[in-house]
Amino acid sequence: MSDGVPAWAYERVSVRPFDPRWADRARVERARLIELLAPWLVDGVEHVGSTAVPGLAAKPIIDLMASVNDLDVVVVDAARRFTVDGWCFVPPELDGRPWRRFFVKPDETGQHRIAHLHLVTSGHPRWGEQIAFRDALRRDGTLADDYEQLKRRLADRHEDDREAYTNAKAGFIVKALGLAPD
C-alpha cells in the first residue's frame, strides 16, 4: 500500500446477500446529503446501485447520486462540509470518470467503504441511466437474478480489482437499458 493512500482504496470486491438495513442506511445518508448539498441541489439525491434493489445481493456500499449545476463549484464550496461529515474526495484524475465527482465515506476504522456519492451535472444522461437501471432491476426479477449471478462471478474473478469488476458489468447494463448498438 502506498503512503497516503487510504486502506479503503484497496478494499476487495465482496458481494453479500441482500440486507434490509441498506434501505435504512440509505435514507439516513440521503437525508444528510440533502442538508449538506441544499444550496446546490437541482434534481435531488437518489439511492442507486444494487443496495437500492430489494432482494439483490450487493457490495455492502450505499450508492447515492446527487444532481447539481456545477460539479467543481460544489467540490470547492462544500469541501469542509463533506470532510466534517466523513466523506473523502476522489480527484477526477484518479476516478477516471469526467462526467462526475466522486466521494467515498469509509467506516470508523477507515478500512471499508460504507457509502459512495456520485455528483452528476443536472441534465447529464448518466442521471437518467442510473435511475432507469435501478428501476428495471426493481421491476424485473429475472433481470435482477441475472445481474446478481453476473456480479457474483465477476466478484470472484476480480476480487482485487474494483475497476475491472465495474467495467465488466458495463455490457450487461447497456443491454438492459436498450442502449446497445443494433
pLDDT over 60 at 165, yes or no: yes
- Mean residue pLDDT across the chain: 94
Backbone angles phi, psi at 20, to 5 degrees: -65, -15
For residue 49, which of 71, 22, 75 has the smallest C-alpha distance? 22
Q: Per CATH, which fold does 7-175 belong to?
A: Beta Polymerase; domain 2 (3.30.460)
| Residues 163-168, mean pLDDT to the nearest whole number | 93
| Pairing outcome for strands 113-121 and 41-48 | unpaired
SS3 (DSSP) at 168: helix
Tens-place pLDDT, residues 128-157: 999 999 999 999 999 999 999 999 999 999
**pLDDT recorded at residue 4:** 77
| Residues 24-47, mean pLDDT to the nearest whole number | 97
Question: What is the amino acid identity at position 66?
Answer: A
Largest CA distance in the chain: 48
**pLDDT recorded at residue 5:** 84
**pLDDT recorded at residue 1:** 44
Those residues whose C-beta lies under 8 Å from the C-beta of residue 70, and which sit 6 or more positions away, are: 40, 121
pLDDT over 70 at 97, yes or no: yes
**pLDDT recorded at residue 95:** 87
Those residues whose C-beta lies under 8 Å from the C-beta of residue 121, and which sit 6 or more positions away, are: 67, 68, 69, 70, 71, 99
